[in-house]
Chains A and B, each alone.
Chain A
Amino acid sequence: MTVTAYLILASVLFTIGATTVLVRRNAIVMFMGVELMLNAANLAFLAFSRMYGTLDGQLAAFFVMVVAAAEVVVGLAIIVSLFRTRRTVSVDDESLMRH
């Protein structure tokens, strides 16, 4: 397979992730969409890294994995505390702030 195939896959995954964030209303599922976007970026990094034959892209992927793990910790903490208060994780339910 050529690099192009991986790049197309990465773009498709990124688009699915972004659409999930925009369309779904469950905070956990939206968060999964974000994780999918980060992993799409990782795939693109790896494909390009392979194309150039350097290690920079692989290095980037490792950093992204660590950052994504930290993001899960923070994100789930926020979502869980909100769930315990409201018994729902839907982002549509009673937005308290007026526009």
Chain B
Amino acid sequence: MMFHQSILNTDATGIAIEWDRLAPVLIVLGAAVVAVLVEAFVPRKARRPVQIILSILAVVASGLMTLMMALAPSDYISNTVAGVAVNLDPAALYIQLAVATSALLGLLVIADRTVQGEDAFTPQAASVPGSEYEDQARRAGLVQTDVYPLVLFATGGMMLFPVAGDLLTMFVALEVLSLPLYLLSGMARHRRLLSQEASLKYFLLGAFASAFFLFGSAWVFGATGSLNLYVIAGSMTELGMDPILLVGVILICVGLFFKVGAVPFHSWTPDVYQGAPTPITGFMAACTKIAAFGALLRVLYSVVPSLKVDLKPALWTVAILTMVLGTVVGVVQQDVKRMLAYSAIAHAGFILSGLVTFTTDGLTGSLFYLFTYGVATVGGFGVIALIREVDGEGHMRGEATALDQWRGLGRRSPVLAGAFSCFLLTFAGIPLTSGFVGKFAVFSAAFGDGAWALGLTGLACSAVAAFFYFRVIVVMFFSGEPAQPARGGLGIGVRTNGLTQVAITVALALTLVLGVVPGWFLDFTQSLSYFIMP
């Protein structure tokens, strides 16, 4: 049968590997392997600078390769890279570019440390919190540098996830991006119990979701006889509503919905966002969301378009529930990181409402939204990473994340508070920020497709969400000192080596530029808003 083309290309003497097209993924994964060797062989003192330079260079090189391909997509798009394991679609290229951009900004925040030389990670992740061993490690000045190879492996997985050409590659990429993140979530320097709890929850629920993805892949393989996405798409037009196929597709979507944090598979998001070290939260919130939406887009647009009429009601329900739940529960949060976690859920709903229209406009809107949301998220969590508690003797402690501790921040650290306000305004979708352009593009696509329920829910949720973003701005700028001193002391901006400030500045610049003059970037996005059809 023509459709039953195998992954194993047994008659060929070898599979041609298009190194240039795979370079963005391979550079990052190669650098990750080198970084592991650096951990083993480079002397302790030199390790940190070497790791930082290596990882930043790798992500920059990978991002530039992707940008080069995205500027001349017709020369590079191909659905037969590395056999048939990788499909380099224009939309996937755009996702790769967005992942590389956010990962670079995220890395800057991760690599930063205070002028006292304290980064966000525990010196010895294996030590028991509060033990003598931990104390010794801290006093010996040990530095956690395992973070960099882990971040590179995760980034490599994220770059591969949206371009995977078969379900097996997709599953492996999913695990390559997830496993390092489970570990990274548990490495916070302060509040280690919370961090370990986040790590365990993320791991158990993440592994549970990947099992669903895998079982779904098995059923799809059973129904179509192949794991290749195009072959599956071809069989789908033949088979139509085959129950085995439908069950498989739904299980795959469950796995992907978990990764993007859509209701009802969102329950890990608040705990993990709150517990993980803040720079990791920023990296994960931006890059995982982009990469997972990339994979979801690929499944929805190039595999199941023949089932879209049947799937639309379910997808609409998920999008509406996600928007409503994220917004409503976000309103009552008293912790800044937790509030941004619920905001992340709501944003997943906004992005979904664009892409479930299955139109080019919806795809363009969702892609643009993903890019701008990722950049602003890294910037926002970068600010949170800098706002620390100060105890009575003036020692810096962990991050001040309770909303009470942010009272009057506009007077203590006006620049940081101002930057954070801009990020909140873009999350709220206020005109002249990139968030407004993204929301406008997504909702106009929904209305254009006749999805009034989606568009109206989206608008209502945006209005409610704006309330809790503005509340933070009011707390920062217009509220006096609290009557009772906040638990843990008030937050204040900490002095660091300046890498986070660079990341925040770039994120802020992108947010404002794409908000004021979005036209050229929307055109660029639109030029990449399609998938190659077999």
Q: Point out residues on A near B: beta carbons under 8 Å.
A: 7, 10, 14, 17-18, 21, 27, 30-31, 34, 37-38, 40-41, 44-45, 47-48, 51-52, 54-57, 59-60, 63-64, 67, 70-71, 74-75, 77-79, 81-82, 84-86, 91, 95-97, 99
Quote the shortest CB–CB distance from B244 to chain A (angstroms): 9
Nearest-neighbor residue (CB-CB) of B221 within chain A: A48
Name B222's contact: one of A51, A84, A86 (CB within 8 Å): A51
Q: Is B128 touching A85 in the complex (CB atoms < 8 A)? A: yes
Q: Is B196 touching A38 in the complex (CB atoms < 8 A)? A: no
Quote the shortest CB–CB distance from A20 to chain B (angstroms): 10
Q: Is B217 an interface residue (CB 8 A)?
A: yes
Q: Is A52 touching B168 in the complex (CB atoms < 8 A)? A: no
Contacts of A77 in B (CB 8 A): 183
Nearest-neighbor residue (CB-CB) of A89 within chain B: B200
Name A31's contact: one of B175, B204, B226, B274 (CB within 8 Å): B204
Q: Is B207 touching A67 in the complex (CB atoms < 8 A)? A: no
Q: Is B197 touching A95 in the complex (CB atoms < 8 A)? A: yes
Q: Is B129 an interface residue (CB 8 A)?
A: yes
Cα A4 to Cα B409 in complex, Å, equals 64
Name A56's contact: one of B8, B215, B271 (CB within 8 Å): B8
Quote the shortest CB–CB distance from A19 to chain B (angstroms): 12
Q: Could you name 29 residue pairs across A and B whose Cβ atoms are closer than 8 Å?
A: A18-B208, A21-B204, A27-B200, A34-B208, A40-B215, A45-B221, A48-B221, A48-B222, A51-B222, A52-B225, A54-B225, A55-B8, A60-B168, A60-B221, A64-B214, A67-B172, A70-B175, A74-B183, A75-B204, A75-B207, A77-B183, A78-B199, A78-B203, A81-B196, A85-B193, A85-B196, A97-B194, A97-B270, A97-B271
Contacts of A51 in B (CB 8 A): 222
Cα A64 to Cα B211 in complex, Å, equals 10
Contacts of A7 in B (CB 8 A): 222
Quote the shortest CB–CB distance from B159 to chain A (angstroms): 18
Q: Is A54 touching B196 in the complex (CB atoms < 8 A)? A: no
Nearest-neighbor residue (CB-CB) of A84 within chain B: B128
Contacts of B270 in A (CB 8 A): 97, 99
Name A97's contact: one of B171, B212, B275 (CB within 8 Å): B275
Q: Is A56 touching B200 in the complex (CB atoms < 8 A)? A: no
Q: Is B126 an interface residue (CB 8 A)?
A: yes
Name A81's contact: one of B125, B179, B208, B225 (CB within 8 Å): B125
Quote the shortest CB–CB distance from A95 to chain B (angstroms): 7
Q: Is A85 touching B200 in the complex (CB atoms < 8 A)? A: no
Name B218's contact: one of A44, A67, A84 (CB within 8 Å): A44
Q: Is B453 an interface residue (CB 8 A)?
A: no
In the complex, the number of residue pairs spanning A and B with C-beta atoms less than 8 Å apart equals: 128
Cα A6 to Cα B185 in complex, Å, equals 38
Contacts of A48 in B (CB 8 A): 218, 221-222, 225
Supply 18 further A-B pairs (C-beta < 8 A) apart from A44-B215, A85-B192: A21-B208, A27-B204, A37-B215, A48-B222, A54-B6, A56-B8, A56-B226, A57-B218, A64-B171, A67-B171, A67-B175, A70-B175, A70-B179, A71-B179, A74-B203, A78-B182, A97-B271, A97-B274
Q: Is B227 an interface residue (CB 8 A)?
A: yes
Contacts of A56 in B (CB 8 A): 6-8, 221, 226-227
Quote the shortest CB–CB distance from A77 to chain B (angstroms): 7
The residues in B between 412 and 444 inclusive whose CB is less than 8 angstroms from any CB of A are: none
Q: Interface digits, B148-183 against A, CB 8 Å rule (1 contact, 0 not)?
A: 000000000000000000001001100100010011
Contacts of B208 in A (CB 8 A): 18, 21, 34, 37
Q: Is A59 touching B200 in the complex (CB atoms < 8 A)? A: no
The residues in B between 1 and 53 inclusive whose CB is less than 8 angstroms from any CB of A are: 4, 6-8
Q: Is B230 an interface residue (CB 8 A)?
A: no
Contacts of A14 in B (CB 8 A): 211, 215
Q: Is B121 an interface residue (CB 8 A)?
A: no
Contacts of A47 in B (CB 8 A): 222
Q: Is B200 touching A82 in the complex (CB atoms < 8 A)? A: yes
Nearest-neighbor residue (CB-CB) of B214 within chain A: A41
Nearest-neighbor residue (CB-CB) of A60 within chain B: B168
Q: Is B219 an interface residue (CB 8 A)?
A: yes
Nearest-neighbor residue (CB-CB) of B186 within chain A: A78
Contacts of A57 in B (CB 8 A): 218, 221
Cα A39 to Cα B367 in complex, Å, equals 36
Q: Is A71 touching B207 in the complex (CB atoms < 8 A)? A: yes
Cα A67 to Cα B422 in complex, Å, equals 42
Max chain B CB contacts within 10 Å: which of A10, A17, A38, A96?
A96
Cα A27 to Cα B197 in complex, Å, equals 11
Nearest-neighbor residue (CB-CB) of B191 within chain A: A96
Quote the shortest CB–CB distance from B215 to chain A (angstroms): 4
Q: Is A59 touching B225 in the complex (CB atoms < 8 A)? A: no
Name B183's contact: one of A34, A78, A99 (CB within 8 Å): A78
Cα A98 to Cα B218 in complex, Å, equals 38
Q: Is B204 touching A91 in the complex (CB atoms < 8 A)? A: yes
Cα A96 to Cα B225 in complex, Å, equals 47
Cα A21 to Cα B6 in complex, Å, equals 34
Name B215's contact: one of A21, A41, A67, A99 (CB within 8 Å): A41
With A78-B182, A95-B197 known as contacts, the answer to whether A63 contacts B171 (CB < 8 A) is: yes
Contacts of A79 in B (CB 8 A): 200
Name B172's contact: one of A17, A63, A84 (CB within 8 Å): A63
Quote the shortest CB–CB distance from B221 to chain A (angstroms): 5
Contacts of A37 in B (CB 8 A): 208, 211-212, 214-215
Name B196's contact: one of A41, A64, A78 (CB within 8 Å): A78
Max chain A CB contacts within 10 Å: which of B7, B193, B221, B275?
B221
Nearest-neighbor residue (CB-CB) of A79 within chain B: B200
